[in-house]
Amino acid sequence: MDLLFFAHLFNGLLMVGMPVGLAVFLTRRYRLSWRLWWIGAATFVLSQVGHIPFNSFLTRLFQIGALPQPPASWHPFFNPVVLGLSAGLFEELSRAAVYAWWAKDARSWRRGVLLGAGHGGAEAIILGALVIYGFIQMAALRYMDLSKVIPAGQLQQAQLQLSAYWSASWTGSLLGAVERFFTIPCQICLSVLVLQAFIRRQAGWVALAVLWHAMLDGISLYLVGVWQGQPWSAYAVEGVIGIMAVFSVLFLFALYRSEPEPPPAQPVAEPIPVQSIPPAEISQDLSQEALDKSKYL
């Protein structure tokens, strides 16, 4: 087995393993249960239930002419802006809804970080699973006669894909894990940004999260496409994503809030001592005359 074989496999395993390792660290470091991590993971999945069909529907509207095609001069910016905004709206509004109706106990920086780690972690794990599945397929087809398993009309395309996959540099094959390493901190930052709307009671924080998410996705899409002309190299694109991740981390720690201190315990009033009456005195008070008089009270 060559180095590239292990690099492709390691890329997928890292994409799955990094978010799991981060979750273990955060739950132990902050002594929190996994519940918020799973809520964050569910938030990502639920956001895509609306996001993916919306993008497909929007694309179809442009294809059939229901929406006018933008001028050619807009093309370098139109797709990144639209797709970035759709991602920001669906994911950040989903996050806000979860904070409002599901994760009502997540009202501190630490809990927001764990929820964001679940959101970004679920994305990384899903993509990592797809990478591992693709690796298994490519490994199975690597030394196989494709003409026996691929239809003739798809044979040339399959051969090109297989050749590109197994001729990549080993460093290039790890870029998926590198991107997830940069993206997860961004998702955590976005989670804490949305949380500020509930801590500070200012809805503008959700709008800020939408715009920051749209910028992160839009810039990446622009550099990858530019636009269908001369895209940046994958290494340069990941470098820009890394810079945005650094800004996200700085922003995240600028919003740091320690766990709120428990309210001071209220002083407990001392019980009033009850004076005990000796049995002898009780027996003296309960004379026959006193008992007779009590009948008429």
Residues in the chain: 297
> Residue 186 — pLDDT band, cuts 50, 70, 90?
very high
Burial readout 171-200 (b: 16 or more C-beta within 10 A, e: otherwise): eebbbbbbbbbbbbbbbbbbbbbbbbbbbe
Tell me the domain boundaries of the chain.
Answer: 3-294
DSSP state of 174: G
Q: Which of 226, 256, 228 is nearest to 240 (CA)?
A: 226
In this prediction, residue 152 carries a pLDDT of 84
pLDDT tens digits, one per residue of 71-124: 878 878 898 999 999 999 999 999 999 999 999 999 999 999 999 999 999 999
pTM, two decimals, is 0.84
In this prediction, residue 273 carries a pLDDT of 61
pLDDT of 291 strictly over 50: no
**For 26-35, 152-161, 271-280, which range has the lowest pLDDT when averaged over its residues?**
271-280
> Residue 284 — pLDDT band, cuts 50, 70, 90?
low
CA distance 141 to 135: 10
> Residue 148 — pLDDT band, cuts 50, 70, 90?
confident
In this prediction, residue 20 carries a pLDDT of 98
Contacts for 16 with CB less than 8 Å, ≥ 6 apart:
124, 125, 128, 129, 132
CA distance 115 to 121: 10
In this prediction, residue 149 carries a pLDDT of 85
DSSP string for residues in 128-167: HHHHHHHHHHHHHHTTS-GGGTS-HHHHHHHHHHHHHHHH
Token pair of 240, please?
């820009």
**For 62-71, 144-153, 256-265, which range has the lowest pLDDT when averaged over its residues?**
256-265
| Phi and psi, residue 145, nearest 5° | -75, 105
Whole-number mean pLDDT of the chain?
A: 88
Average pLDDT over residues 226-252: 87
Average pLDDT over residues 272-289: 54
DSSP state of 73: G
